[in-house]
Amino acid sequence: MLPTNLTVDDVSYEQLAGAIDHSLLRPQLTLSEVVDGCALAARYQVVSVCVRPADVALAAKELAGAGVSVGTVVSFPHGDSATSTKVHEASRAMEDGAVELDMVMNIGLLLSGEYERVQDDIAAVVDTAAGAAIVKVILENAYLTDDQKVVACGLVEAAGADYVKTSTGFAPTGATIEDLRLMRASVGPNMKVKAAHGVRTLDALLAVMEAGADRCGATATAPILDDYRSRVTG
């Protein structure tokens, strides 16, 4: 991460917590760890949790009335499910209580130049969400050139999604300041940008926010927000 001009004096706790999607996606997480993660999200009042699809109903139960949204992933982490499968995943997730969907773009189709199919694939999930869930589309920038990232951002926006997102956390690299600036510049003002993979400190979170990220996926939620509190009070 590059140095940031944004400091703790420039943001409130609510702004920081409101930018964090607490990530509970590691395959080895036990159900008790998912419950603990939901409790942490509620305690720190982050904007959402992002859980594995099978954990959505559990998270919705644990977070009922807590003011923390429940999100999940669609076609994760490779994005290569059939469109009908993505639609089914999205529908089932919303039935279980998800109000945010982080879907993975079909990376192979993009790299094949099948842009219309990529856009239609995203639009099908957007149509399924139909205002009942926010749709974030993961580009997986590790596999794309800058030109391809720009094209992908345009397809995501044209498909009607709410966010473009950098990464799954399962590719060789994740969010970079350069990518976030490029993505922010490649979409209109109504589109939002999410950083994921590699934002593990308060300074890193401030840096990605300054670069244009509206949300950030994080597993180091407690250390980040504890650091903020200690700097503000210390």
- Give the catalytic positions in this structure: 102, 165, 194
The 10 Å CB-count burial string (b at 16+, else e) for 172-196 is eebbbbebbbbbbebbeeebbbbbb
DSSP 29-44: --HHHHHHHHHHHHHH
- Contact between 150 and 179 under an 8 Å Cβ cutoff? The reply is no
How far is C-alpha 15 from the chain's CA centre? 16
